Homo-oligomer: A and B are copies of this chain.
């Protein structure tokens, strides 16, 4: 079943079939109709490999993420796949595992498969690999790690605003001694969140004490350990903001392990709003970072760049949104760590 048979049945040339498939305006409605009927009755669909070879466009987008096992990513992947498929595109997902060694492999895979564009939703990208895409004029879109340029777009995340909302929420609940559990400093996103926290505290006129800041690893156990340390060193702490939800969940466990009641004795705020945060006990107050929005923007960035032969990439904005659930409440008069 190929284009030739369709052409034969519709009594046109293969070129005409190709044109109607690709929606060329230079085809009479009548002949297009004939072709479409032939396509339908023959149950024909084009061979993408041949198409790619002939046109140089594979109709595949690459999606590079850190690790699909990280609960932040499944939604993103799902959203991206959905839009892509709706537009007749295929997606190849590649995990870097946070290693730039493996990032190299990911890039290689993308190049080999001749993807039409790549969404790079992680930050292990070095200049050297970036060149490989530039050389081949493959559009790119980054997640908060680059400024738009020739063929590269960026999705900007307003971490400052998201963290500000979280801190302000705690402040409005009378918390004064707010701790922060940072993520791994190799991650750009973790650095951004920490910076945002420092800034927000300052804006709220709260003292920043280094004893209030600890380091996790964006995983549950890291949050657990960091919270333990915080409890030991920060006497008057009554609330904590975590760099991501997993960290917050670890912190909650540490607190519960010490019989601290949340939120009565201690408030916890996460960041990301992954699905399980709705179901933790108590349900986690957190800052939502919509992965659907990110996915949609990423796709649009790539797609419009290609459609409009737009050399210049675009800039997109993601606004985090505080979601108040059950893990935060007003600080009690007798509250504070000394009581614990």
Contact in complex: A114, B250 (CB < 8 Å) = no
Q: Are B90 and A47 in contact (CB under 8 A)?
A: no
Q: What is the oligomeric copy number?
A: 2
Over the window 46-89 of chain A, the binary record of Cβ atoms lying under 8 Å from chain B Cβ atoms (1 yes, 0 no) is 11111011000010000000011101011101100100010000
* A69-B75, A74-B74, A90-B92 given; A112·B279 CB < 8 A: no
Q: Within 8 Å of chain B (Cβ to Cβ): is A95?
A: yes
Contact (Cβ within 8 A) B95 A92: no
CB of A108 within 8 Å of the partner chain: yes
Partner of A53, one of B49, B221, B275: B49
Do B49 and A58 touch (CB < 8 A)? yes
A204 within 8 A of partner (CB): no
- Complex Cα distance A69/B48, Å? 28
A137 beta carbon closer than 8 Å to chain B: no
Counting CB contacts under 8 A, is A276 at the interface?
Answer: yes
A15-61 contacts to B, CB under 8 A, are 45-50, 52-53, 58
Task: Scan A101-131; emit 1 where CB is below 8 A from any B CB, else 0.
Answer: 0000100110111100000000000000000
**Inter-chain contact B48/A114, CB cutoff 8 Å:** yes
Q: How far is the CB of A116 from chain B (nearest CB, A)?
A: 12
- Chain A residues touching B, range: 35 or more
Residues of B within 8 A of A198 (CB): none
Contact B256 A279 (CB under 8 A): no
Residues of chain B contacted by A81 (CB below 8 angstroms) = 93-95
- A220 at the binding interface (Cβ < 8 Å): yes
A91 at the interface (CB under 8 A from B): yes
B45, B78, B94, B281: the one contacting A281 at CB < 8 Å is B281
Given contacts A45-B111, A58-B49, contact A85 B105 (CB under 8 A): yes
In the complex, residue of chain B having the shortest beta-carbon distance to the beta carbon of A249: B279
A218–chain B nearest beta-carbon distance, Å: 13
Q: Of the candidates B113, B221, B256, which one forms a contact with A90 in the assembled complex, judged by CB atoms under 8 Å apart?
A: B113
Smallest Cβ-Cβ distance to A105: which chain B residue = B85
Q: Which of B53, B78, B94, B256 contacts A95 (CB 8 A)?
A: B78
Max chain B Cβ within 10 angstroms of own Cβ: one of A92, A249, A279: A279
Q: Which B residues are CB-close (under 8 A) to A276?
A: 220, 276
Q: 24 interchain pairs (CB within 8 A)?
A: A45-B112, A47-B53, A48-B114, A67-B78, A68-B68, A68-B77, A69-B74, A69-B75, A73-B74, A78-B95, A81-B93, A81-B94, A85-B109, A90-B92, A90-B113, A91-B93, A220-B276, A220-B279, A221-B279, A249-B279, A250-B279, A253-B281, A257-B281, A281-B281
